[in-house]
Amino acid sequence: MRLNDLDERIVHALAEDARRSYADIGAIVGLSAPAVKRRVDRLRAEGAITGFTVRVDPAALGWETEGFIEIYCSRNTSPDAIKQGLARYPEIASASTVTGDADAVVQVFAADMRHFEQVLERIAGEPYVERTKSVLVLSPLLRRYSAEAPPA
Amino acid sequence: MRLNDLDERIVHALAEDARRSYADIGAIVGLSAPAVKRRVDRLRAEGAITGFTVRVDPAALGWETEGFIEIYCSRNTSPDAIKQGLARYPEIASASTVTGDADAVVQVFAADMRHFEQVLERIAGEPYVERTKSVLVLSPLLRRYSAEAPPA
DNA sequence: TTTGAAAAATTAGCTAT
DNA sequence: ATAGCTAATTTTTCAAA
């Protein structure tokens, strides 16, 4: 599935403000409101757009501490084994296997530093994890798209 | 800032579908549409809600290549300067200043490796960037929550 | 908070290109 | 196939009470 330039500009306008009216978006991309709606409907039907969500200040929800944990696994650990192991942690927002020194990078939201440390220790204690290296987020600068898991 | 139960349920309803009407949300939480709007307006004014965005399937948009770019900045670079500089890149999904060796971590979605390389080179050419280190995502394992809407 | 009216947005149907 | 236009319906907004 390929999206054209118009579709991408519509998605970009929605990424900035998902509650913008179709007329507003149309003014930005140069289409009428119904034309924009038709395209958005099509993008949803095709699965390119999977939904609309609210951006929240994590602190307001009590999740003050964000960080990335790099995971170094023991040999012969399959990506699926990592996935199964990490799926149990509600604090994990995203996880990916990566190139470079580490095997996987995990994004974690915790209530506070103590909570973050607990999560870190539990992950470090997983049987397939050899060691970890963590990086704390100081301040979030941009938080634009909300990517969803691809169909498994 | 503490949210009460009603506020949290409104945020939850918006997290599921940010384009829901105020009347719909009211039916869910037990308020009239204007009452819901007043609360949402207040939550935005207070900064608890920072915006509304679209959830996209990166692959469906043709963004097959994902990676993290660690940025090492020259001295005396303010977070705001980084933010301003990076805001112009549509390929950047998120950016944060972090602890550790690097100053910031940027999450990038690109069409392919060539595109990723172009973005990397442009970022590396920014005046405040001294050097970069990039890590490519091999496979996304989990993509659970919006970065700014962690589990509550 | 609720109500009621005005303004705006959404959505469907239709026609044209 | 996809655009614009128009109109019916719904939603939002801003008054009041």
Q: Who among A18, A139, A150 is closest to B19 (CB)?
A: A18
Give me the tens of pLDDT residue by residue for chain A, a chain 152 residues long.
Answer: 345 789 989 999 998 999 999 999 999 999 999 999 999 999 999 999 999 988 888 777 778 899 999 999 999 899 999 999 999 998 888 899 999 999 999 999 898 999 999 999 999 999 999 999 999 999 989 877 665 433 22
A71 beta partners: A104, A132
The model's pTM is 0.76
Choose among B86, B90, B150: nearest Cβ to A12.
B90
Strand D interface, B 10-69, C-beta < 7 A: 21-24, 33-34, 37
Q: Which residues of chain B make contact with A97, given a CB cutoff of 8 A?
A: 137-139, 141
d(CA A140, CA B79): 9
Contact between B29 and B83 under an 8 Å Cβ cutoff? The reply is no
d(Cα B50, Cα B94) in Å, to the nearest integer?
A: 15
Q: B127 vs chain A: nearest CA distance in angstroms?
A: 18
B67 CB-contact burial (10 Å; exposed 0-12 / middle 13-18 / buried 19+)? buried
CA distances from residue B61 to A85, B109, B119, B136 in whole angstroms, order as listed = 29, 10, 17, 18
Chains A and B form CB pairs within 8 A to the count of: 261
| H or E element at residue B140 | strand B129-143
**Closest A-chain CA to B11:** A54
Q: What pLDDT, on the 0 to 100 scale, is given for residue A5?
A: 84
Q: Within window 4-43 on B, which residues have Cβ closer than 7 Å to strand C?
A: 31-32, 34-35, 38
> Which pLDDT does position A93 carry in this prediction?
83
d(CA B123, CA B67): 13
pLDDT of residue B144: 65
Chain B residues with CB-CB distance to A24 below 8 A? none
Per-residue pLDDT tens digits for B40-67: 999 998 888 888 999 888 888 778 999 9
Sheet containing A49-56, strands listed edge to edge, beginning at the edge strand earlier in sequence: A49-56, B49-56, A146-147
Asked if residue B128 lies in contact with residue B74, where contact means CB atoms within 8 angstroms, the answer is yes
Q: What is the DSSP string of B75-120?
A: TT--HHHHHHHHTT-TTEEEEEEESSSSSEEEEEEESSHHHHHHHH
